[in-house]
Amino acid sequence: MHSSANALCKLYLSVIDDVIENVRETFLDEGVEEGVLNELRQLWVSKVMQSKAVEGFRKDTINPSNFVLQLPANYTQTLQKQSASIILPPGQNVQNYTAKAGGAGAVATFSLPPGVTYPVHIPAGVTLQTASGHFYKVNVPVVVTQAPRSNRVFTQPAAQRAPPRPPPPQPAPSQARPTIQQAPAQTSNSEPTPAASSSTASGPQPDGSVAQADQPPPKEPPAPVDETPQAPVPQSVPPPPPVTPQPVPESPGDFTLEGIDFSPHPEGTLKQEQGQLPACEVGEGASNSNSLDTPEKEVKEEAPDGLPVSDGTAFFSLGSQLDEAIKMELLRDFNYSGLEDIVQLDGAGDGSSEEEEVDIGGPVGENDFLGMISAEALHVLEEAGGSDDSSSTSSSDMEKEEVIEELDPLNSGDDVSEQDIPDLFDTENVIVCQYEKIHRSKNRWKFNLRDGVMCYGGKDYVFSRAIGEAEW
Amino acid sequence: MDPGNDVALDIIITNVVATFRTRCHLNLRTIALEGLNVIYKPEVGKVLMKLRKPKITASIWSSGKIICTGATSEEDAKAGARRLARVLQKLGFKVRFSAFKVVNVLAVCSLPFQIHLIQFTKNNRPIASYEPELHPAASYRIKQLRATIQIFSTGSITLTGPDVQTVATAVEQIYPLLFECRKIKH
C-alpha cells in the first residue's frame, strides 16, 4: 500500500510535470511569464494534495519523521513560503530526481537533491527524507536555491541530521536564523560557501553561512566535509548514503551534486566544518542527505538574506559550527505535520480532485462502456445534469416533433416514475480506464479492465489490470 | 370440450413484450452517457436500459421506438414502459408516451399428464408439426388466435400469443386435444 501510494504520487507528479513542460512553450509563446506556469503547477499540486486522493503526499503515519515533501518549485517563491514541499521518495536515487527535474524549472518534486535549480522552500516543521532514507526535519523554513557552480555554501548540517537526535522543538525559524548566522560567521564565509551538500546533516539545517552564490559552488566537497555533518549523528542515524551526485542540469551554475559533494570550495570553510564534524561518513550516504541538506541550507541562507537567489545561483551554505545549534532548532517534535501546513497554498482551495483524471466524457469509445462501468459516475452526472428535471425542457438535440394526439400525457405518469430509489449509490467512486472485455449474463457482470485510475472512497488507485464481477 | 374438464391449470406468464413510441428523436449517446443502467450498442444502433422495478429491459432506438421486454404482466409492461418514458423525459427529451402495444406474451403451463407426441401430431396433421430431430417439442399453431403452442412430451407447454387473453384461450383450446393423447402410466 505504501509503495503503491508512492508510485501513485510519483505518477501524478510525473503527469503534472509532463503537462507543465509541454505547456511551457505555449505559455511562453503567448507571452505569459513563467511565474504563471509555476503558479499553475503549484496550484495543481496543492489541489492534488488537498484532495487527499493520493496517499503518498501525506506524511506517513508510521514514521512521523518520514514524509515525502512535495515541493512546487517556484522561482518566484521565496523563503518563508510554507508552500514549498519537497518530495523525497524514500530510497529514490538522486539521479532519478534530477532526471525528472531536468529542464523543469517548475519541478517541485525531487527525490532529493535539494539544490536542484531553483529556490526550494522548505517550510518549517517539514521532515525530509533523503534518498538514503534519512530523515531531516526542517524547523526553519528554508529556501533552497540553486547557486552557480562556483559557489557552494556549505553549512554544516550536522544538526539536522536526524530524527534520532530529536532536538527540543524549536519554535521560530527566526531563532534558527540568528544561530545560523553565527555559524557562517564562523565559517567566515560571507560568500556562499560551498554547500557541503553531501553531508547528510545539512538537510534541514538552516544555512548558517548565507552564501550568496555568486560563485559557482564547487561541487566537490572534500569528503571530510560531507562526512563531518554526519559525524555528530552517526550513531543515531546511519549516515544516509551519499546522494549520488547528479549534476543538476538545469541551472547554469548548477552545483553538481555529484556524490553530493558540494564541496565547499573555500578550503577554509571546509576546514571549519571538518573540525566540527569528524569526517566519517561522507562517502557513505552523506551525499543523499547532503543534497537534501544543501537546499535547505541554502534556504536558510536565503532567509537571512531575505532575498531569493536569482536563478542560476545556487548556494549551499553549511556552517559546521551551526550543526548542533541548527539541528536543535530545526528538529521539532516529529508530530508536527508540516504537510498540513504546506498544503495551504494560496489560491482557491476548492479541494477538487484532479479534474483531468475524472473524465467521464472522454473519447467516445470508452464512454460507451464507461457508462456501464461507472454507473455511479453516470448517476452523479445525471444528478447534476438532470437536476432541473423539467418535463418541458428539451435538450438541444431534440428534433422537431409533430403534434400527434398522444395517449395519456406522460405528466400523469409523473407518479409512475419517481421510482426506485435513485439506485442506492450516490457515490463518487469512479473508474476511468480502458476495457478489454465486458461480459454480462442476465444480471451477472464480469469486467476485464486495464490501464486505469480508480477513485474509491476519495483515494486514487492506479492499475494496469483490473478484473471485477458484479451483480446488478 | 368435456364439460367436466375443469382443471385449474396454472398458466404462468413469463414474458410480455411491448412497444411504444416517444414521438421524438432520441440521442442515444446522451442516453448512454447520462442514463442509469444503460448498455450502449452502437454497432446495432440501440441502447438497452434496464429497470429494476418492474424488471424490464428496454431497447431504445434513436427513432424513438422502444421495445420493452421482461415484464410479467400486461399491466407491468405498461407501467414499466411509462416509467421508462419518464426516465427519458428526465434526461431532457420531449417524450410523449404513445402507441403502447403489447406485441407478444409468453406463457408456460404444466399439464398434469404426459403426452404422446406422435399420436398427437397424427391427430392434428396439418396444424401440428413435430420434428424430433430438430426440436423435441411438437408445435401447434392456432391461426385464428395467432398463437403458437409448443408441446413437450413431459406435459409442459409453452404458449406465445399477442396478448394474455389469447394465451388463455389457446390453452383452453388445446387442452382437450392434448388430453386425448396423454400417456397413461400404469
Q: How far is B67 from chain A (nearest CA, A)?
A: 17
Judged against a pLDDT cut of 50, whether residue B174 lies above it is answered with yes
Judged against a pLDDT cut of 80, whether residue B153 lies above it is answered with yes
Q: What does each C-alpha distance from B180 to B141, B175, B177 come to in angstroms?
A: 18, 9, 5
Contact across the interface for B94 and A401, Cβ inside 8 Å? yes
pLDDT tens digits for range B77-134 = 998 998 888 888 888 888 888 889 999 999 999 999 999 999 999 999 889 999 999 9
Question: Chain A contacts of B79, Cβ < 8 Å?
Answer: 416
**How far, in Å, CA of A279 to CA of B79, rounded?**
86
Average pLDDT, chain A: 55
Q: Please, which pLDDT band fits residue A420 given cuts at 50, 70 and 90?
A: low
Instruction: Find out whether A228 and A239 touch, Cβ atoms under 8 Å.
Output: no
Please, what is the angle between helix A286-305 and helix A223-230, to 10°? Answer: 80
Q: Is A371 on the interface with B (CB under 8 A)?
A: yes
Average pLDDT over residues B28-52: 91
pLDDT tens digits for range A244-301 = 444 444 444 444 444 444 444 444 444 444 444 444 444 444 444 444 444 444 444 4
pLDDT tens digits for range A288-334 = 444 444 444 444 444 444 444 444 444 444 444 445 544 555 444 44
Q: Is A364 on the interface with B (CB under 8 A)?
A: yes
Residue B160's DSSP bridge partners are B106, B148
Instruction: Find out whether A194 and A154 touch, Cβ atoms under 8 Å.
Output: yes
Question: Chain B contacts of A413, Cβ < 8 Å?
Answer: 82-83, 85-86, 97
Judged against a pLDDT cut of 90, whether residue B182 lies above it is answered with no
Contact across the interface for A406 and B23, Cβ inside 8 Å? yes
Q: Which of A214, A228, A154 is nearest to A184 (CA)?
A: A154
Contact across the interface for B51 and A420, Cβ inside 8 Å? yes
Residue A56, pLDDT score: 54
Question: Chain B contacts of A363, Cβ < 8 Å?
Answer: none
Residue A319, pLDDT score: 47
| Mutation target vs A (from B82, B84, B87, B88; most A CBs, 10 A cutoff) | B82
Residue A408, pLDDT score: 58
Residue bearing the bigger pLDDT, A66 or A34: A34
Residue A403, pLDDT score: 40
Judged against a pLDDT cut of 90, whether residue B18 lies above it is answered with yes
Nearest to A378 among B33, B42, B79 (CB): B33
Q: How far is B56 from chain A (nearest CA, A)?
A: 12
**How far, in Å, CA of A386 to CA of A367, rounded?**
18
pLDDT tens digits for range A338-364 = 555 555 556 555 544 444 444 444 444
Q: How far is B48 from chain A (nearest CA, A)?
A: 11
Judged against a pLDDT cut of 60, whether residue B24 lies above it is answered with yes
Q: Is A378 on the interface with B (CB under 8 A)?
A: yes
Residue A450, pLDDT score: 93
Q: Which of B75, B179, B185 is nearest to B123 (CA)?
A: B179
- Listed ranges A29-43, A377-391, A392-406; the one with the highest mean pLDDT: A29-43
Residue A434, pLDDT score: 95
Contact across the interface for B82 and A369, Cβ inside 8 Å? no
Strands B56-61 and A126-129: unpaired
Contact across the interface for B25 and A391, Cβ inside 8 Å? no
Judged against a pLDDT cut of 90, whether residue A10 lies above it is answered with no
Cell 449509490 sits on residue = A425
Residue A120, pLDDT score: 56
DSSP for A253-290 reads: TPPB-GGG----SSHHHHHHHHHHS---GGGTTHHHHH
pTM of the prediction? 0.46
Residue A164, pLDDT score: 46
Cell triple for residue A154? 556549505
Residue A347, pLDDT score: 59
Judged against a pLDDT cut of 80, whether residue A3 lies above it is answered with no
Residue B156, pLDDT score: 93
Judged against a pLDDT cut of 60, whether residue A97 lies above it is answered with no
Judged against a pLDDT cut of 70, whether residue B56 lies above it is answered with yes
Average pLDDT over residues A138-150: 58
**How far, in Å, CA of A380 to CA of A382, rounded?**
5
Question: Chain B contacts of A402, Cβ < 8 Å?
Answer: 23
Judged against a pLDDT cut of 90, whether residue B68 lies above it is answered with yes
- Please return the burial class of A37, using the count of CB atoms within 10 Å of its CB with bins 0-12, 13-18 and 19+: buried
Contact across the interface for A398 and B30, Cβ inside 8 Å? no
Judged against a pLDDT cut of 90, whether residue A79 lies above it is answered with no
Q: Please, which pLDDT band fits residue A127 given cuts at 50, 70 and 90?
A: low
**How far, in Å, CA of A163 to CA of A334, rounded?**
8
Contact across the interface for B36 and A440, Cβ inside 8 Å? no
Give contacts of B 69-98 with A, CB under 8 A: 79, 82-83, 85-87, 89-98
Cis, peptide link before residue A168, omega less than 30° from 0: no
Contact across the interface for A379 and B36, Cβ inside 8 Å? yes
List the single range of A235-239, A458-462, B181-185 with lowest mean pLDDT.
Answer: A235-239
Instruction: Find out whether A205 and A322 touch, Cβ atoms under 8 Å.
Output: yes
Average pLDDT, chain B: 89
Residue A456, pLDDT score: 87
Sequence-distant (≥ 6) Cβ neighbours of residue A430 within 8 angstroms: A358, A360, A374, A376, A377, A454, A455
Nearest to A406 among B37, B52, B96 (CB): B96
Residue A144, pLDDT score: 55
Please, what is the angle between helix A286-305 and helix A94-101, to 10°? Answer: 50
Contact across the interface for A398 and B33, Cβ inside 8 Å? no
Residue bearing the bigger pLDDT, B110 or A204: B110
Residue A175 DSSP SS3: helix
List the single range of A23-27, A335-339, A418-422 with lowest mean pLDDT.
Answer: A335-339
Q: Is A441 on the interface with B (CB under 8 A)?
A: no
Contact across the interface for B25 and A398, Cβ inside 8 Å? yes
**How far, in Å, CA of A275 to CA of A284, rounded?**
19
Judged against a pLDDT cut of 50, whether residue A65 lies above it is answered with no
Q: Is residue A255 left, alpha or beta, with left meaning phi > 0 and alpha meaning psi from -120 to 50?
A: beta
Cell triple for residue A17? 510535470
